Amino acid sequence: MRCLTEVTGVVLAGGRATRMGGQDKGLINLNGQPLFEHVMSKLVPQVGNVVISANRNIEIYQSVGVNVLSDTLPDYPGPLAGILSAIQHLSDEWFLFCPCDTPNIPDDLAYKLWMQKGESNAVWVNDGERDHPTIALIHRKLVIDLEQYLAAGERRVMIFLREVGGKPVLFANQMQNFINVNTPEDLMQWEKQ
């Protein structure tokens, strides 16, 4: 596996987690380890740096020794706000965003997205059945487009990525790598595996 030092990984853990009863999803334990740590452990070998996007329990996230960024926009406007905040706060060119509730991302995620991006400033995962727009490699050139999109009241990640000329990257036969832990029932299923 190749480490892409020019890419910063961002674990998106800033949501409300309404389907988890409002618990901070990144801190929910899966097999004795918080979900965000599962994602971090998969990202660290793949990228040059990893940060966490979070809006609560900041001290707990900081306790693992990484930079924690909060949304620059109020009222939890969704994953795009975490994406925007990372691009605004950091000077890196490329960012690999991954939600805190996808603990089984593949070991070649960054490399495959990087190799397939071509001239695009944004690429995201497609598992052959569905898109995963919050698992995306995004260039900082999109910051102004993103600011304008959010200022217009838009929130849909997929629409934004398509509007800026992004494209999906196929991870065929890897659906199990991109399953989200969204509900207590999902968590129970994961615990059994």
Please state at what angle helix 79-89 crosses helix 143-151, rounded to 10 degrees. Answer: 140
Distances (CA, A) of 173 to 130, 167, 176, 178, 189: 11, 19, 8, 11, 20
CATH of domain 4-192: 3.90.550.10
Residue keyed to tokens 């995004």? 138
> Bridge-partner residues for 124, per DSSP?
136, 168
Q: Residues in the chain with pLDDT < 50?
A: 18-20
pLDDT of residue 102: 94
pLDDT of residue 109: 97
pLDDT of residue 75: 77
> Bridge-partner residues for 12, per DSSP?
53, 99
pLDDT in tens, 79-119: 999 999 999 999 999 999 999 999 999 999 999 999 999 99
Neighbouring C-beta atoms of residue 92, cutoff 10 Å: 18
pLDDT of residue 23: 73
3-state secondary structure 67-98: CEECCCCCCCCCHHHHHHHHHHHCCCCEEEEE
Could you tell me the residue ranges of all domains in the chain? 4-192
pLDDT in tens, 46-57: 999 999 999 999
3-state secondary structure 170-187: ECCCCHHHHCCCCCHHHH
Cβ–Cβ < 8 Å for 99, 79: yes
